[in-house]
Structure 1
Amino acid sequence: MPISANSTITVLQTGNIYLLLAGLVILCCFFSSPQVARNYLLVVACGDLGHIYATYAGLGGNMFFDVANWNDMVWGHVGTSIFLFVNRVATAAGIFGSSEKGDSKRE
């Protein structure tokens, strides 16, 4: 019996969440530096990419790249993940301003 696309996406996204949580545990529990927030954003951005890949793997290449026929669920998975990925990477890169400016004023 073939495995449905919904089952594949659900299993891969669940695995993606566990990998993301493992990365966050390592980041937040074993390191304490001013760059923890930046690294946190980068780890979560990797989770966004994993979420997009899980959708791709479940749908297959032909359906995934046929954007005109996406339903609301696919738009929610991929569109939201791309939006969050871009914003997280931009924030980590300092495009919206440096987070260290506020820290130097507290001294």
Structure 2
Amino acid sequence: MPPKSTTTPTSFRLPLLYTTFFLTIEPLSTLLGAYFAYFQPHHYLTLTTPSTPQSTLVPLPPSTAIVLQQLANLYLLLSITEATLLRTTNDLAVWRVFLFGLLVADVGHVWSVREAVGWEGYWNVAGWNAMDWGNLGFVYVAAALRVAFLLGVGLPAKAGGKAKAKK
């Protein structure tokens, strides 16, 4: 039997913005990405790399189809994990570790589209298509919310690593 902790965690409510985004908006948007990667692969690829002529995408090479199906599977995993894991715990440390991992993934996600959008494409909001809004705009918002959360913005001052969060 593990030893009992001598500290009593502080309970508090997470701000509505965090719970709404991390428990609903982001999992649903990730599920949408899974849908398009799996069921609309040509459309997904065309939006990801608009400079690639669509005729070169039909039929998809088996390697591309496999990678898109694996991507869809990972998006599905992420959607389910975020929507369920964070709902099952009120341990702020778990939230921080999970959101830090997603922040690292956000950086990798934004970096991965550099060849498709070019350096200027990262900020050319007027030139973004639907995929760019997902790959860049949405990820910028998600990363900003993760950074804010990790810095404790909107969290009670006593919300140290041992605090518990009520959803």
TM bucket by the smaller chain?
Answer: 0.5 to 0.7
Q: State the superposition RMSD in angstroms.
A: 3.5
Q: Percent identity?
A: 26
- Give, in whole Å, the separation in 2 of the partners of 1:52 and 1:40: 18
Give yes or no for the alignment of 1:82 onto 2:140. Answer: yes
Instruction: Give the TM-score taking structure 2 as reference length.
Output: 0.38
Runs of 4 or more above 3 Å deviation: 4-7, 62-67, 98-103
Query: What corresponds to 1:26 in structure 2?
Result: none
Report 1 or 2 for greater relative contact order, CA contacts < 8 Å, sequence distance ≥ 6. 2
- Picking from 104, 111, 115, the partner of 1:53 is 111
Q: Which has the larger radius of gyration?
A: 2
Conserved 8 A contact 1:39-1:92: no
- Give, in whole Å, the separation in 2 of the partners of 1:84 and 1:74: 14
- Give, in whole Å, the separation in 2 of the partners of 1:91 and 1:34: 10
SS at match of 2:113: helix
- Picking from 34, 38, 41, the partner of 2:99 is 41
Instruction: Give the TM-score taking structure 1 as reference length.
Output: 0.55
SS at match of 1:95: coil
